[in-house]
């Protein structure tokens, strides 16, 4: 029996992609994940996460990583459909990890509703457990969270090599927001790798339009 776990990284970021990852592991091998130190990616150092990626892939029967770019995120946010977009991405990943039973980290306040959103995109639906904080509770989801986080961090590192001081990519990071403010001031537009639908960016762009009309 294959047990699957699916999680995301970068949902709240203002820069870069939202990454959804999934793994499926034979039930008998779940203890291997625990023994190698797999847990919620947020509780691990970058070095530990990087080390664990190859180990997770060696134990997993299947794994898949899917990145959602900023344009698709913005389109969904404008329609108030970010949760639905993430559910669709999770369904895409689930079809590729071929699990008999899947645990997903739920971003919706209603886990049952989120499970139904995922199932609506699946022709053949395994048993889905939609749970809050699943990355802390279920080791397969923890493994998926590591793959998602490492992939997301790699994308941010690519942006840093090209644009330097972009910070973590999150709006709570002053370095990130300073980078964005300077970009908008200089280029009179948002970076293509930024989410224009996020409130801090909307406010900057609205201020730009108001100044242009004066």
Q: Domain limits of the chain?
A: 2-160, 161-209
Span 38-62, pLDDT tens digits: 999 999 999 999 999 999 999 999 9
Average pLDDT over residues 129-149: 97
Rounded to whole angstroms, the Cα distance separating 214 from 212 reads 6
* CATH code reported for the domain at 161-209: 1.10.10.460
Q: Alpha-carbon dihedral of residues 67, 130, 41, 193, nearest 10 degrees?
A: 30
SS (H, E, C) 143-179: HHHHHHHHHHHHHHHHHHHHHCCCCCCCCCCHHHHHH
Axis crossing angle, helix 46-59 with helix 139-163, rounded to the nearest 10: 130
Confidence band, pLDDT 50/70/90 cuts, at residue 213? low
Judge if 2-160 and 161-209 fold alike in CATH terms.
no
* CATH code reported for the domain at 2-160: 3.30.420.10
């Amino acid at each position: 029996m294959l047990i699957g776990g699916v999680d995301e990284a970068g949902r709240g970021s203002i820069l870069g992609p939202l990454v959804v990852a999934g793994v499926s592991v034979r039930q008998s091998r779940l203890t291997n994940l625990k023994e190698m130190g797999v847990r919620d990616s947020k509780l691990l150092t970058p070095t530990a996460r990087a080390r664990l990626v190859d180990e997770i892939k060696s134990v997993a029967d299947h794994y898949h990583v899917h990145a959602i770019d900023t344009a698709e995120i913005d389109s969904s946010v404008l329609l108030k459909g970010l949760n639905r977009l993430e559910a669709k991405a999770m369904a895409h990943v689930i079809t590729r990890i071929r699990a008999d039973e899947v645990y997903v980290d739920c971003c919706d306040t209603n886990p049952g509703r989120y499970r139904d959103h995922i199932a609506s995109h699946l022709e053949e639906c395994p048993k889905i457990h939609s749970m809050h904080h699943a990355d802390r509770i279920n080791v397969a989801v923890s493994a998926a969270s590591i793959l998602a986080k490492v992939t997301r961090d790699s994308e941010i590192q690519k942006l840093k090599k090209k644009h330097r001081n972009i910070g973590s990519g999150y709006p709570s990071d002053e370095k990130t927001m300073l980078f964005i403010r300077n970009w908008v001031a200089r280029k009179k537009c948002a970076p293509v790798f930024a989410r224009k639908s996020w409130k801090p960016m909307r406010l900057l762009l609205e201020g730009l339009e108001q100044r242009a009309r004066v």
